[in-house]
Structure formats: structure tokens, C-alpha cells
Amino acid sequence: MHGISIPAHQYSRFAETYLQLKGRREWEWTRTLAAACRSFTRVVLRLRAQAEAEARAASAVARDRARSPGSGWGGSTTSVNHIPQGMQKRSFSRGSSRAPSPTSMFSRSHHGHPGHSRNGSQAGQALHHSQSVAQFHGPGQGNGTGTFQSPLFRLRRAPLLQVFVPSPEGEWLSDASVLECEQELKRAGVLHLLRPGDVVWDTAVGDEGNMGRLMWDGSYLIDLDYTYSRSGDLPKYLPTLAFPPSYFHRVIRTMGSGNPICHIDISPWGEEVATNLQLLQDRMKTETPQGGHHVVVRWVHRSSFTVRPPPSGKPLRISVPKSIGPGPGPGGTWFVDPGWYGTVVVEAEGTNEGLADLQERCRGAFPIRAIGANPSLSVSPEREARMEERRSVFRIMRERSRPGEIWIKTVTEKERLLPP
């Protein structure tokens, strides 16, 4: 398991050595590391499938318990030997709910011991490692009900897959290097398992910031968006509402304030935004050049809207521009992730410009005279596409957001780093 035992920074060192010398020994190391990354990717995707299957099983058990309160785990009229239907075979064939062995590879590494014992057998090490890589605590066990635990994957978080492709161009991957990364995924045999939003990391580039990180859009690997950040953000070709609000947290690293860029079209809720709009005074903590902090009072325009699930129980569809590729749903549709159901608070600058920008994002919800628009003014398709892109750029305010209430803030042209 080179993908776990070798530190991340060592991959880039091996890649630099190979690009400089290109000897037979370096070539063998490159092949070994590439194979290790392919194996690591297969393991992570296997863990995702396992976690989702365990979550579905736990959800089914919870529904059965809700329909029959007197049965299941914890029921007062149930024998201690009772096992819910559908879980009988699994409970006797799996030992994943047991606590990890204290002699496992991960436990020893935390106490400064080597990952392999000189006297231990390889079979025992593999058993300890498999128990550490993935655990599932059933109802009444562990720290939650039906909680899958693994250091390599978390439910409702983007997986970080690995490839090893030395880049002659340095930190910025060329088109040829990106295509080679796609070929590595093909060699790993995981193309049919990838989903839009999966993050692929070229470990040969390095581990600083988001170097070497690419995004799978459903068909190809694409670069991160560097329009508003030097470290990279979620590309505009993936609708943010299709993923949980914290889906890319710590997978796509965010510098500065820690509030990531997101792309959301709020025009379907424009009427609600217009109804709830208020001009308020807000207190915020800022940092001085000397390193101190003080509280500043500012004016903000604040509103909110509610993302409600359809009464039919079907997923809520997302209307996306033509530049966005097909989604994972039937017919290539994109659906709103249930993590967004609830209240979304929208914040803009407390100036006339900030108000005009917010009104423009709510197309048609405000009177035309309020935004100073001329309906007879013709706009080229290229300019309209740029305006559409700019209207959907926000930042998720992590320090204020919580489940059921997500805060977003408008991003203006002043924060743009790349020219339009």
C-alpha cells in the first residue's frame, strides 16, 4: 500500500528525479508509484460503494423500526437474539463493526512504531489494515447510528482519487498531461465508476494548495477555476446546488477567508428574495496589519429564500446553461442535493451598487426602472453569456452556515483576478 505508507511530498521528489535522470531505476519507480496510485483509486471507490450500501441498509433498518416501534434493536418486546430481517446474513459474515486492532498499521504509526512488524505475518497485517481502512458501526454501536468510518473516504464528501503522471511543464499540467491522467484512470478500470464532481489528484506534481487537482465533469478531467482565487475553486461547469454544501471541504482547499466560490442561479427564487430584502447593520471582525482584531459595523443588503423539496417526493431539477454538460440524472438532468433544502441567506454590499448587483441576479423580480435596464437595448450572445456567468458567482460563508441554513455572499468584479 504505497499510496498510504509513502508521504505525499515524496511523490513529487520521485517525479523530479525521473524527469532529470530518466534512468532504468527511476523508470521502475515511476511504474511502481503509478500502479500504487491506481490501486489507491480503486480502494477509495470501493469504499464509496461500501459506505453507500451500508447507509442504505441502515436507512432501511431505521424505516422498519419506525413502522414497528416494538421491534428491532432496543425494542422492549424483542428477544436479545432478534436480528432484523435483511441483516441476518450480514451480521454473521462481517466483523466490520468491531473496534480496530491496537496493533494495526494506523495505530502503530500514531505511536511512532513502524508500519510492518518483523515477526508478524503479512496476512495478519492485511487483516489489521482492512479493519482500519473502513469500519461501520451498526445501530447502538460506535459513535452514531449506521456510521461508516474510514480515513480514506467520508459519506457526502468528494473522493480524492490519485494518479501518478510526471509533468515536464511543472506545476501546471499541459493538455497532454491531463490526457495521460485520464488514461491512468482508464488503466485503473474505474472510468465507469466516476461521477461528476470526483476530484483527481496528480501526486507527481506536489501537495501544495490545489496543485495537480482536477475535476471529473462526467466525461473529461477539467481544471479548477482560477478566476477569483489563486489556489483554484469549483469550476463553473459544475452546478454547486447538485452537491452538498460541504462536499468539497478540505478536498478543494480554500485560501484566505476559507469561504469557497460557488455558482448558483438564484433567479428561480427571485420573487422571494425581493420580498425578504432588508438593509441592515452588521458587525464583523477584521484583522489589522499589526495582527490585532477589531469589530467593524457595516451596512449590508440581506435577504433569504427557501429551497423546498417537491411535494411529489421527486428530486428538484436544476436549470443549467448550455455550457454545462449532462448531469448524472436521467436524460442528463441535474438535481438539487437535499443538503440545500432549507433556508439560504443571501448577502450583498450595503451600497447602491451592491443592491443593483443583487437585483440583476434576480432577473425579473424587481421593476425594470429599479435596476436601470433598457429592454430595447440589444446584447450580443457572448456578452449575455458573460453576464450570466457573473450573476451566478457567490461565496459560501462557512462560519455562519449550518445544516438547514446556508449563507452565501455575492462576489463582484472587484474580486476578479483574471481578465474577462
- pLDDT of res. 369: 52
CA-only gyration radius of the chain, Å: 25
- Asked if residue 192 lies in contact with residue 328, where contact means CB atoms within 8 angstroms, the answer is no
Is the four-CA dihedral 64, 67, 71, 75 of positive or negative sign?
positive
Average pLDDT of the chain, as a whole number: 80
Q: What percent of the chain has pLDDT over 90?
A: 49
DSSP 113: -
pLDDT in tens, 359-410: 999 987 787 654 455 544 566 777 777 788 889 999 999 999 999 999 999 9
Burial of 320 (0-12, 13-18, 19+ CB in 10 A): buried
Compute the average pLDDT of residues 205-212.
Answer: 91
98-112 pLDDT, tens digit per residue, is 344 333 333 333 443
pLDDT at 184 over 50: yes
Quote the percentage of the chain above a pLDDT of 70: 77
**Residues 299-313: tens digit of each pLDDT:** 999 999 999 988 887
Nearest Cα neighbor of 41 from 141, 162, 149, 140 is: 162
Show the CA angle centred on residue 2, arms to residues 126 and 147, nearest 5°: 55
CB distance 339 to 252 below 8 Å: no
> In the prediction, which pLDDT does 142 show?
39
C-alpha cell at 280: 441592515
Q: What is the pLDDT of residue 104?
A: 36
Residue 87 confidence (pLDDT): 45
> What pLDDT, on a 0 to 100 scale, did the predictor assign at position 121?
39
CA–CA gap between residue 239 and residue 284 (Å, rounded): 29
Let me know how long the chain is: 420
Phi, psi (deg, nearest 5) at residue 393: -95, 120
Q: What pLDDT, on a 0 to 100 scale, did the predictor assign at position 223?
A: 95
Q: How many CB atoms lie within 10 A of CB 413?
A: 10
Angle at CA of residue 194, ends 193 and 197, nearest 5°: 150
More confident residue, 314 or 87: 314
Is the predicted pLDDT of residue 89 greater than 90, yes or no? no
Rounded mean pLDDT, 147-152: 84
The predicted pLDDT at position 135 comes to 52
Model-wide pTM > 0.85: no
